[in-house]
Chains A and B, each alone.
Chain A
Amino acid sequence: MISPAVLEQPGHWRSLGLVSVLLIVISPTLPLLLQAFDWSWSAFSFGRDFVAAILRSVIVAAGASLCALGLGFPCGLVAGLYRFPARRLMLAALAVPLLMPAFLWAIGLSMLRIELGLSRNGFLSGASGSIWSFAALATPLVVFAVLVAVRLLPGTAIDAARLAGGERAVLRYAGYAALPAGVTACLLGGILSLSDPGPGQILGFSGVATQILISFSALYDFELAAQQGLVTAAIVLLAASPLIWLVARHLTLALLPREVRLMEPRSSRTADWAGPALFGVTLLMALLAPVAGLAQPVLSELWLDSVVTTVARTGGNTLFYSAVAGLVATASAVPLAICATRVASLRASLLAGLLLILVLPPAVGALGTVLMASEAPVWLDPIFRSRFTVAAVLGLRLTAIPTVVLMRAIGSAPASWALAGALHGVPLLTYLRRVLAPFLAGPIFMSIALVALVATADITTVLLLQPPGQDSLSIALFTVMANAPESMVASLCLAYLLLGCLVIGALMFLMSLKGRLPRVGR
């Protein structure tokens, strides 16, 4: 019988488990990465242009991260600590940008700029416009990461802080405790921007993602693209390593079991106006401004028939890809978080490894899988050439998101639970099933939902891996964009948004059920 005490003790199983699961997570990218190492590095150009492109991209990523942190952190903090009017509705609305490919938001901003008659070189274009597009997508990640972190704080600590110094002390304590999760989420958001060339192409900004896109789509040179991705990842990891180390050290809490009466949000007169005001500004930036630009053409004509036909054809696949991606990512994140959470150096290594996967463009994993599939025997097609493949590759790439959420959650579980279980002879599996799983149910559900939403926005992976005829709604939307009338594109965009809202509403409802799941919506 294995004792639950192993969960709190050091051991080689942690490193072994970590490496094994990370190998699975990174497996789709391996064929291209191995080819990249095999290829002559002397041909790789570290020219001034490439280095300058990396620098520009890092600046945009940092800008997007800071904007997301600046807006998302206070929103997550206030929504976690307080009740205020329309809180659930605004949280649901803030999840919508996660669904949207950054490219679409950039088009929305571009159209808004033209509508407003602003200059082509103004703040809605170029690097600043790209920062806006990426920040709009990173902000919800920060909000939800901070929200989960705050909601996992012990009620006793909140009460003590309130008694000692009132609401200021509560905000200070909760803010300090949630900062590592917030910083990690904004880091993830920023890093996701490094591999996405879309907004830069629309808004006139050329970063490293554009260079990699050129290697893929103009030179058809997979190896060069993979090498450029690796070099970018190395530079970014080097630059971000102090921050990774810092957040990894502070991602867990040392709690006693009696402290685990999770806090409940409460009403506050200040939060009644501050909450809606903060969310109003954030929603304006992250949702309303781009949607205003995108939806304007729908006023001239609504293409209901096309919308119904397209949604009917692609709706099932879209849900399947998203939901299974969420499951795969979370299933990979649970063992990773269990292996790494109690050891600071492993937490840092894990974060670094996952960020590396995120820096690589999604095409590296997707094309790597296509290469494996074409070399594999036919009987392996259900693994390599099915809808499950699409969802699995999507999920594995996004494993970083649930890992951060779950490391924070597992880090909040008191060590003495496992030790008490061991003392009473409780088997490990029983402990996991009866104690840890119920405690983690909320964060797990939140993880699945977050990954599902972000995966819905992916274009490249689905385009490269979808079994013929099994496209998703986002693919359908983008493949009609070039030559469909603007009103039809806008109609499809609005349908996409509305469906997303419905799914998010259903998730919020489920999450508020019975209080067993995370109570973010209550």
Chain B
Amino acid sequence: MRMKVVSVTAATIVATCAAGCLESPEAPHEVVVYSSVDEIFARPIAQQFKNETGIQVRLVPDTEETKSTGLLNRLMAEKARPQADVFWSGDPVRAAILKSRDISEPYRSPQADGLPVRYSDPQGHWAGFSARARVLIYNTSLVPETERPTSVMDLLDSRFRGSACLANPLFGTTSMHAAALFQVLGEVNAREFFTRFIENGGTIVSSNGEVRRRVAAGDFAIGITDTDDFNVALRERKPVGIVYPDHDGIGTLVIPNAAVLIAGAPNPEGGKRFIDFLLSPETEEALAHSAAAQMPVRSGIPIPAYVRSLTEITPMQVDYDKLADELERLSNGFLREWVTRHSR
């Protein structure tokens, strides 16, 4: 009897492990998409693609929130024989890093025709669409209307002494913002910005989501985050306000999504179809109406009232293609030292 029990248990274990090994290989009617866009926004788009084309999307989402070693590392490690067909990046810098490491393949989608060229790679390695912006978020209970900030430089102002926060500038969109500030302000002024931020009692927190949470909770009066983060706080009726900074100055950093075709992808045709879908006006409209509240980079796309049009803001003039190099230099130098020195 005992032998029977042991045999059945052993057979069950072997069968379970075997079931784990025997995955079905990627079928031609499937496309594998790695995405650094938050799953809550990416999954509905993937579902819509499936509804329209019948092609199943195997989505592998990532998030800066976990502080894990994310999908970009996976794409680099898989370079010799990739599993992904498409990388849907939440910002163009990660897409440019893939390009610099020969992980992406140029693809000029017919859907890219209406998209502004300044938000796409000149060689076609990535194409930018629906954008977020880097904005100031402030707690309306702590900041009276008369003291409302207007510029990122207000983080250095004595009225926000000890009550401003910024996500770790080595990760996520904050890293891109830091690189952009160095590009636009110049080395000396950008360094001074970060130095004075700390001198004014500013705090480095883990992510943009954390900036949103802690400003909304009143732990900080002001911070810098992304428009989608702000929109979550707004939908939750938190006491927060938004400022698209530096309207009359250096402008607001606009962060388009970027669609990247992976070199040597197992299903390049499926990947191209997914990229075509991402770059379509319909997807831009869907992302504008979603909780992400993203701004279409095309003109003439209908948007809800709570979404700003790109024409209403002053975009920061940056060379997106060069930001990745700038960021690499800063991550190995100033920013790394700054973060290490000023994290407790």
Distance A244 CA – B206 CA, assembled complex (angstroms)? 35
Q: Please give, as numbers and ranges, the residues of chain A lying within 8 Å of B68 by CB-CB distance.
A: 363, 459-460, 463, 478
> What total of A-B pairs shows CB separation below 8 Å?
203
Q: Which of A125, A200, A327 contacts B13, CB < 8 Å?
A: A327
Distance A485 CA – B344 CA, assembled complex (angstroms)? 29
Q: In chain B, residues 195-242, which have Cβ atoms closer than 8 Å to a Cβ of chain A?
A: 203-210, 213-214, 217-219, 228-229, 232, 235-236
Query: Given A198-B66, A482-B208 in contact, is the A217-B73 Cβ separation under 8 Å?
Result: yes
Q: Please give, as numbers and ranges, the residues of chain A lying within 8 Å of B209 by CB-CB distance.
A: 481-483
Give the interface residue-count category, chain B: 35 or more
* A460 B69 Cβ-Cβ under 8 A: yes
Q: Please give, as numbers and ranges, the residues of chain A lying within 8 Å of B97 by CB-CB distance.
A: 220
* B66 A459 Cβ-Cβ under 8 A: yes
Distance A220 CA – B69 CA, assembled complex (angstroms)? 9
* A217 B69 Cβ-Cβ under 8 A: yes
Q: In chain B, residues 6-51, which have Cβ atoms closer than 8 Å to a Cβ of chain A?
A: 13, 16-17, 20-23, 25-26, 32-33, 38-41
B260 CB, min distance to chain A CBs, angstroms: 15
B3 CB, min distance to chain A CBs, angstroms: 9
Query: Given A370-B78, A480-B38 in contact, is the A213-B67 Cβ separation under 8 Å?
Result: yes
Distance A207 CA – B97 CA, assembled complex (angstroms)? 27
Q: Which of A127, A476, A482 contacts B229, CB < 8 Å?
A: A482
Q: In chain B, residues 150-175, which have Cβ atoms closer than 8 Å to a Cβ of chain A?
A: 168, 170-171, 175
Interface residue stretch chosen among A87-95, A381-389, A412-420: A381-389
Query: Given A217-B70, A370-B74, A464-B74 in contact, is the A478-B65 Cβ separation under 8 Å?
Result: yes
A259 within 8 A of B: no
* A387 B73 Cβ-Cβ under 8 A: no
Q: Which of B17, B58, B73, B175 contacts A216, CB < 8 Å?
A: B73
* A222 B344 Cβ-Cβ under 8 A: no
Contact with B along A476-499 (1 / 0, CB 8 A): 101111111111000000000000
Q: In chain B, residues 75-91, which have Cβ atoms closer than 8 Å to a Cβ of chain A?
A: 76-84
A38 within 8 A of B: no
Q: Please give, as numbers and ranges, the residues of chain B lying within 8 Å of A482 by CB-CB distance.
A: 38, 63-65, 207-209, 229
Interface size on A, residues (CB 8 A): 71
Distance A482 CA – B217 CA, assembled complex (angstroms)? 16
Mark B residues whose CB is within 8 Å of A.
Answer: 13, 16-17, 20-23, 25-26, 32-33, 38-41, 58-74, 76-84, 97, 168, 170-171, 175, 203-210, 213-214, 217-219, 228-229, 232, 235-236, 291-292, 328, 331-332, 336-337, 339-341, 343-344
Q: List 12 A-B contacts (CB under 8 A).
A: A197-B67, A327-B13, A367-B73, A375-B81, A386-B20, A464-B77, A479-B39, A479-B62, A479-B66, A482-B64, A483-B41, A485-B232
Given contacts A479-B61, A480-B39, 17 further A-B contacts (CB under 8 A): A110-B214, A120-B219, A327-B17, A363-B68, A386-B20, A463-B68, A463-B69, A463-B74, A468-B26, A468-B83, A469-B60, A471-B60, A478-B63, A479-B63, A482-B65, A484-B40, A485-B236
Mark A residues whose CB is within 8 Å of B.
Answer: 49, 53, 103, 110-111, 114, 120, 125-127, 197-198, 200-202, 204-206, 210-211, 213-214, 216-220, 222, 320, 323-324, 327, 361, 363, 366-367, 370-371, 373-375, 378, 381-383, 385-388, 391, 459-460, 463-464, 466-471, 476, 478-487
The 9 A-B residue pairs with the shortest CB-CB distance in the complex, in nearest-first order:
A206-B343, A388-B20, A468-B58, A469-B58, A363-B69, A201-B206, A370-B77, A382-B21, A387-B20
